[in-house]
Amino acid sequence: MSFLFPAGFLLSALALPIAAMYFLRIRRRRVRVPSLMLWHAMQRSERLASPFDRFRKHLLLLLQLLLLAVLVLALTRPYLQTEAAAFRSIVLVVDTSASMGAVDEKPTRLGAAREKAAEILGDLGPSDEVMLIEAGPRTEVRVPFTRDEAQVENALSGLEVTEAEGGLREGLQLGLSLARSRPDVEVVVLSDGAGEDLSSLPTGGAKVTYLRIGKKDDNAGILALDLRRSPVSELDRQLFVTVEHYGNESVDATVEVYLDDELVGLRNERLTARAPVSMVFDVDGSRSGVLRVELDVPGDLLPADDTAYAVLGAVSARKVVLVGGDALTARVLRADPRVDLKLASPASATPASLAGADAILFGAAVPEGMDGLNYAVLSSKHGGPAELGDPIDLPRILGWQRTHPVLRFVDLNGVTIARAASVGNTAGLAPIVDGDAGPLILAGERQGGRVVQLAFDPFQSDLPMRVAWPVMILNTVGWLTEETAGASDALLLPAGAPYFRKITGAGDNVTVRGPKGDAGATVSDGTLRVVETDHVGVYRVKGGGVDVSFAANLLSEKESRIAPLAALSLGEDTEAAAQASVVSGRRELWRPLLAIGLFLLLLEWLAWNRRATA
């Protein structure tokens, strides 16, 4: 044992005045007694009594001297030197992903991580530095390198467990890169490992200590959720749910589906270990509201993955505007009962007048400012976002993406095109039909809207004469409106992922109400961004011309598999085995000494009180 402040031992001299004051106490009460004869006799017998009685007589003094000794010892700041260097820098990486909300540690794994972090802080010397990094859905340096333990403690208590997939890898990567600025840095990871693959992460020689949080693996969770149109009826929906149990034994599970708190589906399943079970629930398409799926498994340790949400919008016809355009296309569109077609003249077609449409098909020139809207340019004559150049005669079709929704069931074999335009800048669109001289059809997303652009005039080809044309037109409308017509209302977002949406109105009065109250939203360039989607639930965006809800769900195998990792496998073939605590360093003893001192003070008070009231 060594001492940081050995001069404190000088204060032991205080024992003299304490003893002097004890024996020279002048405030003794004078009491007249008939004779001292018997008191003397008692004292003589007392001297013959056991030495313990004499010790008891001076118990107060003994306790006071003991208390002084303990306080003096605490003041000298004794410590036990272990294997660490005299000066240390520690980077604390605390995992706040959903799996840290498991309740196998009390109160949660994050709570246990906080306690371990506090222990580490308690062991730090005055010249040691510490940094705190939160590795949640977003990686954040909560406290840069500091010697102020209180600041780190405050930040620790401010950490909250999220219901989103975590980025331990990013957190550790950040910690390791920041660690390079200091020599002798120790990166301490407080996590359950959460199934992260860290093998490609170079440690750069820094020491990584993995403090494993968590004990058990009994957890079942909802792994997948989707809401689709029913194959039987255009107007009905089907809810697909996949659940899995990650414990070692089979369990009985109940899956309940509520639509606005009304039970609309119930399934009891026996879940065997690590075997996903999928189930389908039929949902009446005429209704709208919030679908809530609840998984109930006894002894489940992680609540975040036991509930999932989907927003169900009523099925409605898709508003499609055909600007200009030919009679054939108009007829194809009218033939689809799901399409509510409006014809517009090229003169009246402005971005403002077209904003309410789910999809716009241009058979005329595309006006400026169409960003964020879903539209298709049906001829190279009408412009479009991709830059078109010199004409190409008789281009041959080399291939097309058969899996692209626009080209589903479309056969372009043998299509003859008389003339096409060469494509310069594709403006972010991807070619889905390639010709021998460049792309012939492009499709893609641009600033929140979907765009399909033809690089040739179909009426200079035999395409409209083929079955492929109406199929492609209806596919195009289907793809363009996929997000906004009916099914798009069921937008499912992974918790923690940002939500973007184009808005048309002013952005100042947009509010986003999430499951835990207001979720911050920012609007810039006409795009709304919601970043704080860390909790599972329904978020409602209101204002700025929109009133839409979306659901955020965990749906993460990585988080639902809560068994803590025995070791973190890091790059360069290093491995950080799980440890119970950070063993290196200097362990100061003043805190336990102070606790002993307080206990002695209590004893002294009790002894005094007992004597005073006896």
Partner 1 sequence: MLLSPELLKKLAALTLRSNKRGSGVRVGERRSQRRGQSQEFADHRPYVPGDDLRFLDWHLYGRLDTLWVKLFEEEDDRVVQVLLDCSTSMEGEKLDYARQVAASLAFVALGHNDRVTVAGLTDAVASYAPPRRGRSASNIVFDTIEAVNPGGKSDPGKALASFPRQRGTGIALLFTDFLYPEGPDAALRNLVARGNEVHAFHIVAPAELRPAVDGDLVLVDAESGEELAISVDEATLDRYETTVHAWAEEMEITCRRLGVGYTRVLTSTPLEEFIFKDLRRVGVVGR
Question: Interface residues with partner 1 (CB under 8 A)?
Answer: 25, 27-43, 45-46, 49, 53, 56-57, 610-612, 614
Amino acid at 457: D
- For partner 1, the closer CB: 33 or 150: 33
Taking the C-alpha atoms of residue 347 and residue 469, their distance in angstroms, rounded to an integer, is 26
Contacts of 335 (CB under 8 A, 6+ apart): 470
Taking the C-alpha atoms of residue 77 and residue 445, their distance in angstroms, rounded to an integer, is 65
- For partner 1, the closer CB: 40 or 334: 40
- For partner 1, the closer CB: 37 or 347: 37
The token pair at 502 is 């184009």
When computed from its CA atoms, the radius of gyration of the chain, rounded to whole angstroms, is 37
Taking the C-alpha atoms of residue 109 and residue 302, their distance in angstroms, rounded to an integer, is 10
CB of 606 to partner 1, least distance (A): 13
- For partner 1, the closer CB: 61 or 280: 61
CB of 63 to partner 1, least distance (A): 15
Helix (H) or strand (E) holding 122: helix 109-122
- For partner 1, the closer CB: 39 or 500: 39
- For partner 1, the closer CB: 42 or 583: 42
CA distances from 308 to 163, 266, 274, 290, 412 (A): 11, 15, 20, 10, 42
Taking the C-alpha atoms of residue 93 and residue 518, their distance in angstroms, rounded to an integer, is 28
Q: CB count, 10 Å around CB of 312?
A: 24
Contact 72, 12 (CB under 8 A): yes
CB of 581 to partner 1, least distance (A): 47
DSSP line for 235-289: T-EEEEEEEEE-SSS-EEEEEEEEETTEEEEEEEEEEPBT--EEEEEEE-TT--E
DSSP line for 298-320: TT---STTSEEEEEEPPP--EEE
* CA end-to-end distance (rounded Å), the chain: 43
- For partner 1, the closer CB: 54 or 274: 54
CB of 60 to partner 1, least distance (A): 9
CB of 27 to partner 1, least distance (A): 7
CB of 600 to partner 1, least distance (A): 20
According to DSSP, residue 605 is labeled H
Taking the C-alpha atoms of residue 382 and residue 323, their distance in angstroms, rounded to an integer, is 11
- For partner 1, the closer CB: 28 or 106: 28
CB of 44 to partner 1, least distance (A): 9
- For partner 1, the closer CB: 26 or 347: 26
In DSSP terms, which residues pair with 265 in a beta bridge? 257
Q: CB count, 10 Å around CB of 144?
A: 12
- For partner 1, the closer CB: 35 or 524: 35
CB of 127 to partner 1, least distance (A): 50
- For partner 1, the closer CB: 47 or 106: 47
Taking the C-alpha atoms of residue 510 and residue 542, their distance in angstroms, rounded to an integer, is 6
DSSP line for 327-369: HHHHHHHHH-TTEEEEEE-TTT--HHHHTT-SEEEEESPPPS-
CB of 23 to partner 1, least distance (A): 10
- For partner 1, the closer CB: 41 or 266: 41
- For partner 1, the closer CB: 44 or 106: 44
CB of 66 to partner 1, least distance (A): 19
CB of 67 to partner 1, least distance (A): 20
CB of 46 to partner 1, least distance (A): 6
CB of 69 to partner 1, least distance (A): 23
Contact 134, 96 (CB under 8 A): yes
Contact 322, 340 (CB under 8 A): no
- For partner 1, the closer CB: 16 or 614: 614
Contact 88, 182 (CB under 8 A): no
Q: String of b and e for 465-499 (b: at least 16 CB within 10 Å)?
A: ebebbbbbbbbbbbbbbbbbbbbebbbbbebbeeb
Contact 227, 557 (CB under 8 A): no
CB of 20 to partner 1, least distance (A): 15
